[in-house]
Amino acid sequence: MTDIAPCLWFDRQGEEAANFYVSLLPDSRIDHIQRALSDYPNGKIGDVLLVEFTLCGRPYQALNAGPNTPFTQAISMSITVDGQAEVDRLWDALIADGGEPNVCSWLKDKYGLSWQIVPQRLMDLMKDPDRGRAKRAMDAMTRMTKIDVAGLEAAANGADA
């Protein structure tokens, strides 16, 4: 069988980051921690080298490989959530302790990994068969940082967001 799992490159915080991420999302866990069997360029024998973990039922890896390859927005973790309460909970947790908010539902966590916290209602509004409603919702979203579901609804219905 062939498997595929995104491998996230960390300096030395892979285990810490994986534990943080699994604490936020359902159906998430640490599956295995591989320690270095010998010294390597970024660490010593016994250091955590690779963390295999599951987020929302999907496999990931966190590799402690050194500071030479920081994250960019070229890849992000996109989470679709049920409502404003989940947007707020995840947003606040992910920008805490040094994370940075960005526009249109994007943020960067304290490890430098980019995330999008997207309420399902935004996706539904953007697929609305009434293209005017969909456009108004999209226009409102582009003016937001953290997504405000009530603001999207109001904009879709013709009010200024």
Q: Tens digit of pLDDT for each residue in 10-27?
A: 999 999 999 999 999 999
The predicted pLDDT at position 1 comes to 66
Q: How many Å apart are CA 156 and CA 134, to the nearest integer?
A: 7
Q: Distances in Å between the alpha carbon of 113 and those of 9, 17, 82, 83, 158?
A: 10, 10, 22, 23, 35
Tell me the pLDDT band of 161, cut-offs 50, 70 and 90: very low
Question: How is residue 127 annotated by DSSP?
Answer: T
The mean pLDDT value for 78-86 works out to 97
pLDDT tens sequence across 26-66: 999 999 999 999 999 889 999 999 999 999 999 999 999 99
Edge-to-edge order in the sheet of strand 48-55: 7-10, 58-64, 48-55, 29-35
Query: What is the tens place of the pLDDT at every residue in 135-147?
Result: 999 999 999 999 9
pLDDT at 2: 84
pLDDT of residue 159: 87
pLDDT band at 79 (very low <50, low <70, confident <90, very high): very high
How do residues 83-125 score in pLDDT, each as one tens digit?
Answer: 999 999 999 999 999 999 999 999 999 999 999 999 999 999 9
Q: What is the pTM of this model?
A: 0.93
Strand ranges, E, within the chain:
7-10, 29-35, 48-55, 58-64, 76-81, 100-101, 106-108, 114-119
Asked if 138 and 147 touch (Cβ cutoff 8 Å), the reply is: no
